[in-house]
């Protein structure tokens, strides 16, 4: 039988809260995307190692000032949280809660790779939901510590009138910093299994996988810690996610691990069964490499270079906007071979600027670069490259009130975007670059500019990147153009080029 070598992490990039299923020989995974649009990426694999983005759940899911980044706050750390992906009788279902909207969303389609998704919106939160189809009935398990079960209608469009809606179980409290959450539910081997992540203050004091099981839907449930390992990485536990089988009956878990400022990265873990308990890892450890009995497929890049050569105004699936875009203000066809960003709003910083186009960053190190035509910019405009998280850094061009150009490196300090370095710049074109180093939690970014794309000049200072919960997302690299004085300025971006490195240069 053909086999594939799994090397953990399978993606050294921010793909948090994975939910995975198998349909035939294809695996599908969805993950949290919060304020990035389009949202909830659908990824496909045939070997559990190599994944490709094939669709999104939605282009946008709400149209209001917060989602449009017009309220001065946005939906950072909110938006779509942990999702549950299931397939039942020819229909794919995805559900999630949105903390800012205080709503529960259910999406469905018959074509996960190419289809449009129908949605239902239910008032109230169902925190970190797990969807389970069980003998003609549908249940959602949800909650943090106090785990509830709620019954839904057969088409999963509403809570079932008169159906089950109750507290199912209360997980351990004593010595627990983060009680059980991130539920994934299964009915296997005559048991109901609920997979959780929790985070004790005792023992190793890290995230771990805690499984509850019962022969009866409503319990009583017994529990067992089935994985408590950090792969030797700064005591960051590998946890939260679910399990999936192969066509020949082997089982594997797909979980994530906190990896500093690059974000939460997915790992595959072998699963065995002992007395009907799932046992994750090998001798309690997550192996760095191992074989799976699946034919290997070609790797597909998660982060891509782009020359912006499009025949229609539609970007590659690897790109996501920071919050909802204003589609009137960007184009890849107005000037063929270029991404055009036009300012349409006044913003106080890149963190609150619409139409910032982003991709993930990738470890252990990576480089992103671009070239900009500055001739359409207006006084007060600021355009360039951003290393985007709450503690962001930018390198780009600022236009002074008199029209003079300055190449500028900025960082967020004390809540504001502040220039660290400004250098007068005369040319029409500028090349920009950010180098990221995520190895061993170094988490440093360096910023450069060039007049010819060959001789690179460092500018400003290195950025100490930090993963903070007010954004709750790994660092992304983004292209931006925003106005501080007047709207209508244009920047034309010739390309974006990305390279993953095995070590920082």
Please tell me whether residues 108 and 186 are part of one structural domain.
yes
Please tell me whether residues 274 and 324 are part of one structural domain.
no
Please tell me whether residues 182 and 64 are part of one structural domain.
yes
Query: CA-to-CA distance for 148 and 128, rounded, in angstroms?
Result: 11
Sheet (strand 251-258) strand order: 238-245, 251-258, 264-274, 277-280
- Region label for 143, one of left (φ > 0), alpha (ψ between -120 and 50) or beta (otherwise): left
Name the DSSP class of 74: T
CB 339 within 8 A of CB 310: no
Last residue of a domain, one of 292, 311, 329: 292
Average pLDDT over residues 120-130: 97
Please tell me whether residues 220 and 369 are part of one structural domain.
no
- Taking only the tens place, the pLDDT of each residue in 437-455 is 999 999 999 999 999 999 9
Q: How many CA atoms lie within 13 A of 230 on its CB side?
A: 14
User: In the prediction, which pLDDT does 343 show?
Assistant: 98
Quick one: pLDDT band at residue 334, thresholds 50, 70, 90? very high
Query: CA-to-CA distance for 172 and 221, rounded, in angstroms?
Result: 12
| Residue 35 pLDDT greater than 70, yes or no | yes
Query: Residue 139: inside a domain, yes or no?
Result: yes
Mean pLDDT of the chain: 97
Total of domains in the chain: 2
Q: Encoding tokens for residue 113? A: 């790779």
Percent of the chain exceeding pLDDT 70 equals 100
Query: Residue 392: inside a domain, yes or no?
Result: yes
Query: Residue 147: inside a domain, yes or no?
Result: yes
Is 160 buried (19+), middle (13-18) or exposed (0-12) by CB count in 10 A? middle
Query: Residue 310: inside a domain, yes or no?
Result: no
Please tell me whether residues 285 and 337 are part of one structural domain.
no
Query: Residue 400: inside a domain, yes or no?
Result: yes
User: In the prediction, which pLDDT does 413 show?
Assistant: 84
Percent of the chain exceeding pLDDT 90 equals 98
Quick one: pLDDT band at residue 196, thresholds 50, 70, 90? very high
- Taking only the tens place, the pLDDT of each residue in 382-394 is 999 999 999 999 9
| Residue 230 pLDDT greater than 70, yes or no | yes
Please tell me whether residues 134 and 244 are part of one structural domain.
yes
Quick one: pLDDT band at residue 466, thresholds 50, 70, 90? very high
| Residue 1 pLDDT greater than 80, yes or no | no
CATH classification at residue 219: 2.115.10.20
- Taking only the tens place, the pLDDT of each residue in 246-291 is 999 999 999 999 999 999 999 999 999 999 999 999 999 999 999 9
Query: Residue 356: inside a domain, yes or no?
Result: yes
Give the three-class secondary structure for 69.
coil
CATH classification at residue 442: 2.60.120.200
Please tell me whether residues 218 and 354 are part of one structural domain.
no
| Residue 505 pLDDT greater than 90, yes or no | no
Query: CA-to-CA distance for 331 and 334, rounded, in angstroms?
Result: 6
Query: Residue 389: inside a domain, yes or no?
Result: yes
Q: How many CA atoms lie within 13 A of 497 on its CB side?
A: 10
Query: CA-to-CA distance for 297 and 181, rounded, in angstroms?
Result: 33
CB 29 within 8 A of CB 20: yes
Please tell me whether residues 212 and 165 are part of one structural domain.
yes
Query: Residue 305: inside a domain, yes or no?
Result: no
Give the three-class secondary structure for 157.
coil
Evaluate the omega torsion of the peptide bond into residue 220 and state whether it is cis, within 30 degrees of 0.
yes
Distance of CA 253 to the CA centre of its chain: 19
User: In the prediction, which pLDDT does 362 show?
Assistant: 98
Q: Encoding tokens for residue 482? A: 């925003």
CB 344 within 8 A of CB 326: yes
Question: Which residues contact residue 10 at a Cβ distance below 8 angstroms, ignoring those fewer than 6 apart?
Answer: 48, 49, 51, 266, 267, 268
User: In the prediction, which pLDDT does 244 show?
Assistant: 98
For residue 46, the enclosing domain spans 4-292
| Residue 220 pLDDT greater than 80, yes or no | yes
Query: CA-to-CA distance for 368 and 244, rounded, in angstroms?
Result: 35
Please tell me whether residues 110 and 209 are part of one structural domain.
yes
Query: CA-to-CA distance for 114 and 490, rounded, in angstroms?
Result: 33
Please tell me whether residues 85 and 234 are part of one structural domain.
yes
Please tell me whether residues 19 and 161 are part of one structural domain.
yes
Please tell me whether residues 229 and 153 are part of one structural domain.
yes
């Amino acid at each position: 039988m053909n086999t594939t070598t799994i090397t953990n992490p399978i993606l050294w990039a921010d793909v948090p809260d994975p939910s995975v299923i198998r349909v035939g020989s294809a695996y599908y995974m969805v993950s949290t995307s919060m304020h990035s649009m389009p949202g909830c990426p659908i990824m496909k694999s045939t070997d559990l190692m190599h994944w490709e983005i094939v669709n999104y759940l939605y282009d946008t899911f709400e149209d209001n000032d917060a989602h449009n980044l017009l309220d001065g706050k946005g939906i950072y750390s909110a938006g779509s949280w942990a999702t549950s992906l299931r397939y039942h009788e020819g229909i794919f279902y995805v559900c999630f809660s949105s903390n800012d909207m205080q709503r529960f969303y259910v999406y469905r389609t018959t074509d996960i790779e190419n289809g449009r998704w129908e949605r239902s919106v239910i008032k109230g939160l169902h925190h970190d939901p797990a969807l389970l189809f069980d003998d003609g009935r549908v249940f959602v398990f949800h909650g943090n510590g106090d785990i509830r079960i709620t019954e839904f209608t057969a088409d999963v469009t509403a809570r079932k009138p008169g159906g089950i809606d109750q507290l199912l179980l209360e997980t351990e409290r004593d010595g627990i910093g983060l009680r059980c959450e991130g539920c994934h539910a299964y009915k296997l081997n005559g048991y109901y299994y609920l997979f959780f992540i929790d985070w004790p203050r005792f023992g190793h004091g890290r995230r771990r996988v805690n499984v509850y099981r019962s022969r009866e839907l409503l319990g009583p449930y017994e529990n067992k810690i089935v994985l408590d390992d950090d792969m030797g990485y700064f005591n960051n536990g590998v946890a939260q996610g679910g399990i999936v089988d192969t066509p020949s009956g082997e089982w594997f878990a797909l979980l994530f691990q906190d990896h500093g400022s690059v974000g939460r990265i997915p790992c595959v873990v072998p699963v065995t069964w002992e007395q009907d308990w799932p046992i994750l890892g090998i001798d309690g450890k997550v192996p760095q490499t191992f074989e799976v009995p699946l034919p290997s497929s070609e790797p597909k890049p998660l982060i891509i270079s782009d020359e912006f050569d499009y025949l229609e105004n539609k970007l590659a699936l690897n790109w996501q906007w920071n919050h909802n875009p204003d589609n009137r203000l960007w184009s890849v066809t107005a000037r063929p071979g270029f991404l055009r960003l036009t300012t349409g709003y006044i913003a106080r910083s890149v963190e609150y600027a619409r139409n910032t186009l982003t991709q993930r960053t990738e470890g252990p190190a990576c480089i992103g670069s671009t070239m900009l035509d500055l001739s359409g910019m207006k006084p007060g405009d600021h355009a360039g490259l951003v290393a985007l998280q709450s503690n962001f850094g930018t390198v780009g061009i600022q236009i002074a009130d008199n029209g003079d150009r300055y190449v500028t490196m900025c960082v967020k300090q004390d809540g504001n975007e502040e220039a660290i370095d400004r250098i007068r710049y005369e040319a029409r074109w500028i090349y920009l670059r950010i180098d990221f180093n995520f190895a061993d939690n170094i988490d440093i970014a360096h910023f450069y500019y060039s007049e010819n794309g060959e001789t690179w000049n460092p500018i400003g200072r290195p950025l100490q990147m930090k993963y903070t919960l007010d954004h709750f997302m790994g660092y992304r690299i983004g292209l931006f153009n925003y106005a501080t004085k007047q709207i209508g300025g244009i920047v034309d971006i010739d390309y974006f080029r990305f390279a993953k490195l095995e070590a920082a240069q």
